[in-house]
Structure 1
Amino acid sequence: MPPTLETLMSRLRLRQLRLLMALDECGSIHKAAEQVGISQPGATRALNEIESTLGASLFARSARGLETNDLGRCVVRYARLIQTDVAHLREEMIGIQQGYGGHLAVGGTMGAIATIVEAIVKVRAEQPSLSLQVIEDTSIGLLRLLDQGRIDVALCRSNFGRRPGDYHSHGNFPEPLWVVANPHHALAAIEEPDFTTLARQAWIVYPVSMPRMLEQEFVAAGLSQSVQSIEISSTYAILAMLERDSGVLALLPEGIAREQVGRGRVGRVNYRFRTPNPAFELLWRRDRELSPAARRFIECYDAEER
Structure 2
Amino acid sequence: MISSLPSIVSRLRLKQLRLLIALDEQGSLHRAAEQVAISQPGATKALHEIETTFGASLFTRTSQGLAPNDLGRCVIRYARLIHSDLAHLREEMIGIVQGHGGRLSVGVIMGAVPQLMRALTGLREKQPELSVEIVEDTSERLLSLVDQGRLDLAICRTSVSRRPDAYDCLKLFEEQLVLVAHPEHPLVGVANVKLAQLSDCRWIIYPANMPMRLLLEHEFSQAGLEFPRYPLETASTFSMLSLLQQDARSVALMPREVAGFSQGFGMIGRLDLQIQSRREPYGVIVRHASQLSFPAQLLLEELRQESSGEPVV
Q: Distance in 2 between matches of 1:237 and 1:36?
A: 41
> 1:147 maps to which residue?
147
TM-score, normalising length from structure 2? 0.93
Contact 2:183 2:266 in 1 (8 A): yes
What whole-Å deviation, never above 9, does each CA across 1:250-281 have from its counterpart, x for those lacking one? Answer: 11101111222233221001111222221101
Of residues 145-154 and 169-178 in structure 1, the stretch that sits farther from structure 2 once superposed is 169-178
Q: Distance in 1 between matches of 2:199 and 2:218?
A: 12
More helix, by proportion: 1
Contact 1:105 1:132 in 2 (8 A): yes
Identity of aligned residues (%): 47
What whole-Å deviation, never above 9, does each CA across 1:144-164 have from its counterpart, x for those lacking one? Answer: 010011110111001112211
Where structure 2 has 5 or more consecutive residues not aligned to the other structure, the ranges are 309-313
Q: Distance in 2 between matches of 1:301 and 1:192?
A: 34
Aligned AA (1:248): S
- 1:52-67 counterparts in 2 under 5 A? 52-67=52-67
Relative to structure 1, the CA distance from residue 259 to residue 226 in structure 2 (aligned partners, 3 Å threshold; closer, same or farther) is closer
Aligned AA (2:84): T
Q: How far is 1:200 from its partner?
A: 2.2
Q: Distance in 1 between matches of 2:147 and 2:53?
A: 27
Where structure 1 has 5 or more consecutive residues not aligned to the other structure, the ranges are none
Partner of 1:151, secondary structure, is: coil
> 1:69 maps to which residue?
69
Partner of 1:95, secondary structure, is: helix
Of residues 87-96 and 283-292 in structure 1, the stretch that sits farther from structure 2 once superposed is 283-292
TM-score, normalising length from structure 1? 0.96
Q: Distance in 2 between matches of 1:245 and 1:12?
A: 54
Contact 1:201 1:228 in 2 (8 A): no
Contact 2:168 2:289 in 1 (8 A): no
1:218 and 2:247 are equivalent in the alignment? no
Of residues 200-209 and 163-172 in structure 1, the stretch that sits farther from structure 2 once superposed is 200-209
What whole-Å deviation, never above 9, does each CA across 1:230-249 have from its counterpart, x for those lacking one? Answer: 22222222222212222211
Partner of 1:188, secondary structure, is: coil
Tell me how large the CA RMSD over aligned residues is: 1.4
Q: How far is 1:190 from its partner?
A: 2.6
Of residues 25-34 and 147-156 in structure 1, the stretch that sits farther from structure 2 once superposed is 25-34
Aligned AA (1:275): S
Q: How far is 1:226 from its partner?
A: 4.4
Contact 2:203 2:228 in 1 (8 A): no
Q: Distance in 1 between matches of 2:16 and 2:114?
A: 41
Of residues 272-281 and 52-61 in structure 1, the stretch that sits farther from structure 2 once superposed is 272-281
1:242 and 2:244 are equivalent in the alignment? yes
Partner of 1:259, secondary structure, is: helix
Q: Distance in 2 between matches of 1:226 and 1:193?
A: 17
